[in-house]
Chains A and B, each alone.
Chain A
Amino acid sequence: MSHATTNKTTSPESRPQPEVDRRPLARQRRNRILLQVGCVLITLFMALPIYLIALSATSSRAALQEFPLSFIPNNFSLETMETFLQSTGILGGLINSIQVGIFTLLLSLIIGVPAGYAVARFAFPGRDPYQLFLLFTRALPIVVLSVPLAQLFLQTGLYDSILAVVLLHTALALPTTILITSSVFLGVPRDVEEAARIFGCSPVQAFLKVVMPMAIPGIAAASIFTFVMSWNEVLGASILTLNQRTLPAQVLSSLAESPLAYRFAGGFLLVVPALIFIFFMRRYLTNMWGSTIR
């Protein structure tokens, strides 16, 4: 671009205008087109499967039997979804999943927010080992915890309860919650808090009335993240429960003996929250991943 402007300024008026070099412009236009082509291709790869599962889940059983399948939604029907929701354990699993998600979210906030605040604000001895410990627990595979926890819960009578799954999911989500909330609190200027103290707030008041309102959006993002984690977690939930299945655990355990229509409907129901969550979180995604996991 700078090339073109220098050309223009150096050419005197008396002489005939030199031919404008259109190549950079053409190249720029070609690049814009290539850019869009690339974006559209990747979007097709990412969105087409979601469209197809939505299409399958909203087709009638008869339409799913047809071959070749139609790519156009020409026989919309809720039959498949209805049959799925009426299958044993699905509605209960859905309710369990929502309950587990909400309780996990609350518990990890109750334990995680104070810890995140401490990490952000205080230079206490042992902070570095503490953060290292958090990173280490994040790296632990779920499977390592699930099997022994099942035995421990069997002994303590917690096995096959919502609480068992909530405890496991909170343990999994807590490190992330602490790291995200600490980065959120780092973004709230310390001066604001100190000003509140000068005007007579107690530390707790300053935290609740001044810091929390500024931190709420980031903490909301962390909460959504926790809920998504809990909603998606299938292995631990399957191992820790027998009758009180969460939705994914129920779908997984009946996978082998279920018809295709059931699996498509289950897959669609599991994907729908992802569409919603990411829509609300899209602005926070890069902040969360950028600042917290390094």
Chain B
Amino acid sequence: MAAPDAPAAARPRPRPAAPRGRPPRKSSTSAAMLLIAPSIVFMTLLFGWPMVSGVLQAFGGPEGLTTANFSRMAQDPYFWSSVGNTLLLIVVMIPIQFVLALAMALLIRAKPRGSSVYFYIWAIPLAVSDLAAGLVWLTVFTDRGYLNSVLASVGMEPVSWLAYDNYASMFMAVLIAEVWRATSLVFVIVVAGLQSIPKDYEEAASVFGAGFWDRLFHVTLPLLRPSLQTALILRTILAFQTFAVALALTGQNFPLVVGETYRWYTGLQDANVASALALVVMAVSMVTAIGYLKLLRDQSEAPR
């Protein structure tokens, strides 16, 4: 391809201060502007406008700007437990998902017999919503569900997995449902990343006597860094938005932050506090994404 801009376009994350060497042609510039204009107008209307009014709403009250919405939010008994639950879920879930997804991607790369069928089945949860995932696992964890049926048939006492006073098993149920649903996304990203790594590197390492783990940690994983970084940021931001899986499995017993927003808006009908909660979710997501980028970039630019 003769296009000098192709490499930059293939990697849409631009360096901030890269000066463009070529003077842009006039006609193509105006054509391009014409082509992207509708999207800019649309996005400004549907992202910019609500963002501004969301901030105003979060700080808005009957008499001018106030932080009362935030203090009402923080005083709600469910708020801090929802924050704690969300963070705990993310901290436990993300490592499990990455190890599992990496293992799945390596299994697929080894080309077992029937690998296309495996790939299909493992990718299905990618298109399952968190509400549906919660309902799917409800068949397993509900009191007269399949898990207790198994226990009963081997002569053990059934357990109320989703009961209010059984926090550990409730957490496990939500965790398993989320691992089931969202590992596929990481899996597909990692498979795509593995496909872009030439086999030569690993073969070379193998010739020089590197074992499986050596090759994994010193060849494959470093080369996979961009994919893993993408997956990590995307997955964490999406994980903050999880809520329906917990609602479907436990009702209000396992509150998550976005679920609280939903409750404040639909149940308690207080749009101001809901906006305040939404701002908290956004702030945390942004800080996490930037934090990851900084952390991972610093490491990748360290001398090798």
How would residues 106 to 117 of chain B score, 1 for a CB under 8 Å from any chain A CB and 0 otherwise? 010010111110
Give A89 Cβ to nearest chain B Cβ, in Å: 15
A151 in contact with B57 given A69-B145, A114-B35, A132-B13 (CB within 8 Å) = yes
In A243-262, the 8 Å CB interface with B consists of: 248, 251-253, 255-256, 260
Chain B residue nearest to A171 in the complex (CB) = B46
| A143: B residues at CB distance < 8 A | 241, 258, 261-262, 277-278, 281-282
Chain A residue numbers with a CB within 8 Å of B124 are: 46-47, 50, 274-275, 278
Q: Chain A: which residue is nearest B238 at the CB level?
A: A141
Q: Which of the segments A10-18, A98-106, A117-125 contacts the partner chain?
A: A117-125
A131 within 8 A of B: yes
With an 8 Å Cβ cutoff, the count of chain A residues facing the other chain is 109
Contacts of B244 in A (CB 8 A): 234-235, 248, 252
CB distance from B38 to the nearest CB of A (A): 5
Q: Report if A232-B265 is in contact (Cβ < 8 Å); known contacts: A69-B145, A255-B248.
A: no
**1/0 per position for B1-37, CB-CB distance to A under 8 A?**
1111110111111100010101010001101110110
Query: Cβ of A228 < 8 Å from any Cβ of B?
Result: yes
Question: Which residues of B in the span 165-204 have a Cβ within 8 Å of any Cβ on A?
Answer: 180, 184-185, 188-189, 191-193, 195-196
Determine if A267 and B132 form an interchain contact, defined as CB atoms under 8 angstroms apart.
yes
Q: Does A291 contact B (CB under 8 A)?
A: yes
Name the one of A141, A171, A178, A277 contacting B240, with C-beta atoms under 8 angstroms: A141
Question: In the bound complex, what is the Cα–Cα distance between A234 and B243 (angstroms)?
Answer: 10
Q: Count contacts on B: residues with CB < 8 A to the other chain.
A: 117
C-alpha gap A117/B57 in the complex (Å)? 37
User: What are 26 sample pairs from A and B whose C-beta atoms fall under 8 A apart?
Assistant: A45-B180, A68-B153, A71-B146, A114-B35, A115-B38, A122-B31, A123-B5, A128-B8, A131-B14, A132-B13, A143-B258, A147-B271, A152-B50, A171-B43, A174-B39, A231-B129, A232-B128, A232-B131, A252-B244, A263-B138, A267-B248, A270-B131, A279-B120, A290-B192, A291-B10, A294-B13
Interface contacts beyond A239-B262, A282-B123: sample of 15 additional A-B pairs, CB < 8 Å, sorted by A: A67-B149, A111-B42, A122-B31, A123-B22, A130-B36, A131-B12, A140-B47, A143-B258, A143-B261, A144-B54, A145-B46, A151-B271, A171-B47, A267-B138, A273-B127
**Taking beta carbons and an 8 Å cutoff, which residues of B are in contact with A?**
1-6, 8-14, 18, 20, 22, 24, 28-29, 31-33, 35-36, 38-40, 42-43, 46-47, 49-51, 53-54, 57, 100, 103-104, 107, 110, 112-116, 118-132, 134-140, 142, 144-146, 148-150, 152-153, 180, 184-185, 188-189, 191-193, 195-196, 226-227, 230, 233-234, 237, 240-241, 243-244, 247-248, 251, 258, 261-262, 265-266, 271, 274-275, 277-279, 281-282, 285-286, 289
4 nearest interchain CB pairs?
A: A267-B135, A290-B192, A232-B129, A68-B149
